[in-house]
Amino acid sequence: MTNALRLGIAGLGTVGTGVLDIVKRHAALLAARAGRPLQVTAVSARSKGKDRGHDLSALAWHDDPVALAKSADIDVFIELMGGDSGPAKVSVEAALAAGKHVVTANKALLAHHGVALAKAAEAKGVMLNFEAAVAGGIPVIKTLREGLAGNDVRRIFGILNGTCNYILTKMADEGRSFADVLAEAQKLGYAEADPTFDVGGFDTAHKLAILTSLAFGTQVNVDKIAIEGIEAITLEDIRNAAELGYKIKLLGVAVAHEGGVEQRVNPTLVPKNSPVSETDGVFNAVVIRGDFVGDLMLEGRGAGSHPTASAVVGDVVDIARGNARPVFGIPAKDLKPYVQAPQKAHEGGYYVALQLHDKPGAVAAVARILADEKISIESIVQRGTASNETRDTAPFILITHNTLEPSIRKAMAKIEKDGHVVGHPRVIRIERL
């Protein structure tokens, strides 16, 4: 058997230790599959003394990840530090410049610098693999780049953040608060170092931008994505949605139109019988429509130590086998410039939650404003006040038929301005994807 493929890992957190686990436990299996042993020879992390459940004493230790990236002791640099700038970016650039293959789980880095890094890798004839950057353990990068190479893909969407899906699922199933479930997701190693990236929708946007590039052959562009997170979703919204036959999911959606690409991230009501509505907890789902294959859906664990490490190790085996191909499916220099699709009104229903003043004419006034904007109502829920209780306001929930987004925005502004509601109306898209 040939020489071992020598791996240097920068970042020994949740995913890094998962990689150590797999390489150790499956040493023989991996050597057989890769055609040569895989050996971790060097590491870099923040604190040397921390107990990670592995004996690292035989490995070269580098305090500086850039020194590890350039080290003569490694063939593959595995970047698991995260962040779109700083040590992650500098060390990946250094590794590529030094002619090392790179494996990374860093979606922010690829979303912001993917094209430049791909050009650097392709110029050096080395591989830059990033399966773990999108949807954790789901092999969606490989699916798009290799398995679906015979298709023109025009639409891709999915649940791309395990933390958000975990939060929304637990809130729905256990009636727990947003903050309580977020703390649990952090403890389980699902969330980013700064969980605002998760709940604010940015992590989903990074992943979506990468998928868009692979699917449509365009340069990665995260700056134009309209992003809305799940922070404003209340337990009440989740319960109302359930009562009306829907679940709330944070979706990333990319569609190739004639005039350009539409990318967006937003909480969405999906009918309970739609395929992604069954994807719960830390699971992610990606639905891809190819012109010859039709629709296909991939589902699996989107975050966590071992699922994400599984994707990293798959990438390493690919390198050991010499499975070379362009980073984004076509050479980086040939990726088309990203063109944003002209803003088009969303033709779909909306969930609207209002806290109305409980007085005669309030509902009629709201109905009139909606009618003026040609918004048609599909269903309404108004919870009454118990007879032994008095309240000044009452929740008023409605689902609209297909409506243009600007009409909804205009109607909500008018309802607020006319003083019919307390607080702000909450509006969530409905998608029948």
To ligand HSE, the closest distance from the beta carbon of 286 in angstroms equals 12
* Phi-psi category of residue 35: left, alpha or beta, with phi > 0 → left and psi -120 to 50 → alpha: left
Q: How far apart (Å, rounded) are the C-alpha atoms in residues 238 and 230?
A: 11
Given the residues 100, 107, 170, 207, the one annotated as active site: 207
Tokens for 381, please give them.
């829920």
Nearest to 287 by CA among 275, 302, 271: 275
Q: How far apart (Å, rounded) are the C-alpha atoms in residues 348 and 236?
A: 22
Nearer to ligand HSE, 108 or 335 (CB): 108
16 binds ligand HSE (CB under 6 A): no
Question: Which x/- pattern over 110-149 shows residues binding ligand HSE (rule: CB under 6 A)?
Answer: --------------------------x-------------
Binding test (CB under 6 A) with ligand HSE, winner from 161, 221, 263, 277: 161
To ligand HSE, the closest distance from the beta carbon of 297 in angstroms equals 17
The helix/strand/coil state of 387 is: coil
Binding test (CB under 6 A) with ligand HSE, winner from 303, 309, 354, 428: 303
Residue 377, Cβ density class (10 Å: 0-12 exposed, 13-18 middle, ≥19 buried): middle
- Can you name the residues that pair with 257 across neighbouring β-strands? 260
CA atoms within 13 A on the CB side of 140: 34
Q: Is 142 known to be catalytic? A: no
Number of chain positions touching ligand HSE (CB under 6 A): 11
5 binds ligand HSE (CB under 6 A): no
Binding test (CB under 6 A) with ligand HSE, winner from 203, 262, 373, 431: 203
353 binds ligand HSE (CB under 6 A): no
199 binds ligand HSE (CB under 6 A): no
Nearer to ligand HSE, 20 or 230 (CB): 230
Tokens for 266, please give them.
């937003």
Question: Which x/- pattern over 251-290 shows residues binding ligand HSE (rule: CB under 6 A)?
Answer: ----------------------------------------
Nearest to 88 by CA among 199, 13, 144, 188: 13
Residue 70 in contact with residue 98, Cβ under 8 Å?
Answer: yes
Kindly list the catalytic residues: 207
Residues that bind ligand HSE (CB under 6 A): 136, 161-163, 190-192, 198, 203, 302-303
